[in-house]
Amino acid sequence: MAAVPTLGEIVSEFSELDDATERLEYLIEIGDTLPEFPAAARVEANRVQGCQSNVWLIASHPADAPERVDLQADSDAPMVKGLVAILVAAFSGKAAQEILDFKVESLFERLKLRAFISPMRSNGLHSMVLFVRNLADKTVEASRASGGSSVPERVESLKTNSSNESDLPPLTQEEVRRLRDDFPILATKTDDGKPLVYLDNGATTQRPRSVLAAMTAAYEQYFSNVHRGGHSLAARTTEQYERARQLARDFLRARHSHEVIFTSGTTAAINLVARSWGDANIGANDEVLLTEMEHHSNIVPWQQLAQRTGCKLRFAPITDDGQLDLERWSEILNERTKLVAFTAVSNVLGTINPIAELTRRAHAIGAKVLVDAAQAAPHQPLDVQRDDIDFLALSGHKMLGPTGIGLLYGKESLIDAMPPFLGGGSMIRTVTIDGFSPAMLPAKFEAGTPPIVEAIGLGAAIEYLNAIGLERIHRYEQSLAQAAHAALASIDGLAILGPSPEKKGGIVTFTLRGAHPDEVAKVLDANGVAIRAGHHCAMPLHQRLGLPASSRASFYLYNTLAEVEQLAEALRRTRKIFEAK
């Protein structure tokens, strides 16, 4: 048997091969150089899940260098053996942190084996890389626990970037005017020729050209199904799909990409937790704590859970100015509370809730926490590690992305223990006539063909938001809300709901005496101003406020102070119409 080539020798040899078939032949050749794998180690416990062929991998740590990882591996497929040989050459003998920092994707790009590194079930290389990185990650964690290491560099850099962002100034009106050119729909006019003033961002946002371009490119240039095809289109599509997951991981400052589960939106994500974690962990004597300001998506799934299990739902009250009553909150929390589910930002009142404080109180009595971040993710930085969040749900269409895509973040220890919610393709490891075994995370919860292009669009939206800065967006929106409060306060008969501007996001919800909210929305629409009218999928909150409905103006990064004044002027006209009645 030929000697096992070094990584340098492998790279050098591949650089001289221009033909794709020759590269595959060399791949098989270097697979034959793998040392004999111990027969006793060819057991299920050492088999890498997610590979269509059999791949066995074992790791050891030298006694004199416990941070180093030595690898032995083998496969029963000739071409996969070659991939295994490359991984062993790249990773074996390195310190765990070196393995985590090594850009293996760039290596396979350089070897012109890009198709193999995509997470395709036809080769399993991605699963092998995850397996090795998981081993390295556990080694780093063990070293950190013993005082030998600090926070991983990637997470530390993200947190540093997050803190530095607060030093940046908010968006200026000139910057916003330039940003508006990125959104084609903002140049449209009403049927009467009035410029569009779009103030219904709490319902859904508009999309920038970069998101539209990313989705068009996916359909026109490389579209295929993900995780299954053996051809280059499938590999590239899978690569872009999983890149979106990585962007989402960094956006939330999560530790692992597999803690991000793509769903159709916030509603689907919360239902997933209620059905999977809830059914497995909540019983008749348990309680779920919600708040009076929740969206129906964070109420009804728990009501359905209560119908199935007999558990009790309790609702934390709000104060008259639309904030959580934290004193009553502590009174309601008790040893029977198993889950606390709350919105980070109210979609009606705009109230910003103290995520870290509420999570700390819940964990103190042993409860898990789910955060509805649908109204927070588009507007302010989130950090699931810093705030110790167990579950978090968000929707892409509220943050410049397409409809039909959202995500659930879950701590690995929790979602790994949860049973699959939907059954079918993709979420399985094996299937027989007698049963099935589920796939690894995140595939375990992504049954069927996923929203591929929508996920790619969400990734482009995240990149767009990152380029601007969430903290800058948040402070700018608060300035718009402050201007709106000041402008609307002078309108007779108009009452603003919720707290003062510094305690809320860019949402201003109000009522106008003598006019139904739907009538207000119709008059404003005639003036080119688009707002939301109704109960905003928050009927219990409106019942608490003693209102059948309300009107809501919700701002985003492309709205201007001039549009705030146009809103106020349209409301003054509306007031005159109903004063005459």
Active-site residues, by number, are 537
Helix residue spans in 170-265 (DSSP H): 173-180, 209-217, 232-252
**Strand 287-291 to 337-343 pairing:** parallel
CA-wise closest residue to 140 among 201, 103, 95: 95
Q: What share of the chain is helix, strand, coil (3-state, %, to 5)?
A: 45, 15, 35
Distance CA 428, CA 437 (A): 6
Question: And the tokens for 354?
Answer: 């103290």
Cα–Cα distance, 445 to 447 (Å, whole number): 6
438 bridge partner residues: 428
Beta bridge partner(s), residue 508: 553
φ, ψ for residue 508, nearest 5 deg: -130, 105
3 state DSSP class of 84: helix
Alpha-helical regions (H) of 320-354: 326-332
Torsion of CA 249, 391, 367, 421, to 10 degrees: -130
Distance CA 287, CA 313 (A): 6
Identify the helix (H) or strand (E) that includes residue 393.
strand 391-395
In Å, what is the CA distance from 506 to each residue of 387, 494, 495, 522? 23, 18, 17, 22
d(CA 498, CA 318): 10
**Can you tell me the distance from the alpha carbon of 127 to that of 130, in angstroms, rounded to the nearest whole number?**
5
